[in-house]
Amino acid sequence: MTNSVRLESGGSVIVPIRKPLTDELGRTLLRDVGEMISRGNREIRIDLAGLEELDSPGCAWLIRAVRAGKAAGAEVKLVGAAGRPAELLELMRPNFEPLPPPSPRPGFLERMGDRGLTVWEEFRQALGLVVDALYWSFIAPLEGKGVRWKGLLDEIQAMGSSAIGIVCLINFLLGLVIAMLSAAQLRLFGMEILVASGVVIGFARELAAVMTGIVVSARTGAAVTAELATMKVSEEIDALKGMGLSVSRFLVAPKILAILVSMPILTILGFLSGVAGGFALGIFSLGFTFERWWWQTHQAVSMGDISQGLVKSVFFALIIVLVGCHNGLRVRGGASEVGKATTRAVVMDIFLIIVADMVFATIFYYTT
């Protein structure tokens, strides 16, 4: 395809190209050049004098031929180009200085060290955020530095009121499930009435707070992270900082206050829904009267149980918002990072909620 190949003295060859340099011709050219080099030609000149038009794929083929020559220790020169092809070649010709080699993979110790540093760095950031956020949420308002009430009400609406439905539904269903499970066991002893006690104690101490925490972390925790991460990516956070404003004050503190109002209320509603689930089974399936079930429930639960749940819910609330803000604010990069941060936040939320729950369980177990 590359027409006549003329041998010249000194092992140099001239390859004239007279047709438009299509992909087909380009492939042939590359193959021919390879063959010539393997036959011992050390200098190959590709004559472009007959070329009238050239496009960028054509340029790429010529560049590949030159590079192939170089790699094989021969010299491939482009000669005779004139007019537009010459100019295009000049414009397009990349300087193929070798790219710097990718840095070598660090050794085991180095990686461990890096990882340790990363974790430490993140811990420090998180600690800074916690201190700053708690200051702006609790201490600054006492010093008369204003809370943004408008923002606070919007946040309560988003985190609290609009979550009521799903929190109640989930707790109700869970109450029903727990009641059914325990009824099957207690029936063996003819003590189905104890289902009422089991459900109410379980929900007061444990289940309402944890279930509500998980629902809220999936709703609010994810939303907080996504919101802050998007603001970070679109430089809104930098804009705030650049105006000399505190991110903790404007973005984190209203969320903390809002969730501290919302979470205990949601937990109480969750508790009532769970107990209602137990009632539903006891009255409609086990055949107890309302009064009997009510008496058993009332008698089984104490304020102490309920306040255990509420104390937990306050801590879970703080975990959810702080983890959400922390993950949102440490994002760098673009859209995919927002998604990753959100996933990370929810996983971290649920993990920390369970860990905190275990810590509380241990404390209550050994102190009461």
Partner 1 sequence: MKSPIIKVRDLKAGYGETVILEEITFDIHPGEILVVVGGSGCGKSTLLRHLVGLQPPLSGSISYWGRDITRMEEDELGRLLHRVGLSFQGGALFNSMTVGENVALPLEEYGIGDREQRRILARMKLNLVGLGDQGRRYPEELSGGMKKRVGFARAIAADPEVVFFDEPSAGLDPVIGAGLDQVILELRRLMDLTMVVVTHELYSIRTVADRILMLDGGKIIFIGTLEEAESSDHPRVRQFFLRQPDRGIGNRE
Contacts with partner 1, residue ranges (CB under 8 A)? 23, 55-57, 59-61, 63-64, 84, 87-88, 91-97, 99, 102, 332-337
CA distances from 214 to 79, 229, 303 (A): 72, 21, 24
CB closer to partner 1 out of 30 and 283: 30
In the complex, minimum distance from the CB of residue 22 to partner 1, in angstroms, rounded to a whole number: 12
* Interatomic CA distance for residues 284 and 276, integer angstroms: 12
Q: Which of 35, 55 has the CB closer to partner 1?
A: 55
Residue 56: CB minimum distance to partner 1, A: 5
The β-bridge relationship of strands 6-7 and 12-16 is antiparallel
Greatest CA separation found in the chain? 114
Q: How far apart are CA 325 and CA 197, in angstroms?
A: 39
CB of 100 to partner 1, least distance (A): 9
Task: Report the nearest approach of partner 1 to the CB of residue 94 (Å).
Answer: 4
| Backbone dihedral region for residue 95 (phi beyond 0: left; psi -120 to 50: alpha; all else: beta) | beta
- 191 vs 335 by CB, closer to partner 1: 335
CB-count exposure of residue 106 (10 Å: 0-12, 13-18, 19+): exposed
Task: Tally the residues of the chain.
Answer: 368
Task: Give min distance, CB of 253 to partner 1, in A.
Answer: 29
Calpha distance 214→357 (Å, rounded): 12
Rank residues 93 and 298 by Cβ distance to partner 1 and give the closer one: 93
Q: Give min distance, CB of 128 to partner 1, in A.
A: 23
Judged by CB, which is closer to partner 1: 101, or 287?
Answer: 101
Between 90 and 114, CB nearer to partner 1? 90
Contact between 176 and 128 under an 8 Å Cβ cutoff? The reply is: no
DSSP string, 188-243: GGT-TTHHHHHHHHHIIIIIHHHHHHHHHIIIIIHHHHHHHHHHHHTTHHHHHHHT
Closest CB 244 distance from partner 1, rounded Å: 23
CB closer to partner 1, 237 vs 356: 237
Measured between alpha carbons, how far is 34 from 41 in angstroms, rounded to an integer? Answer: 10
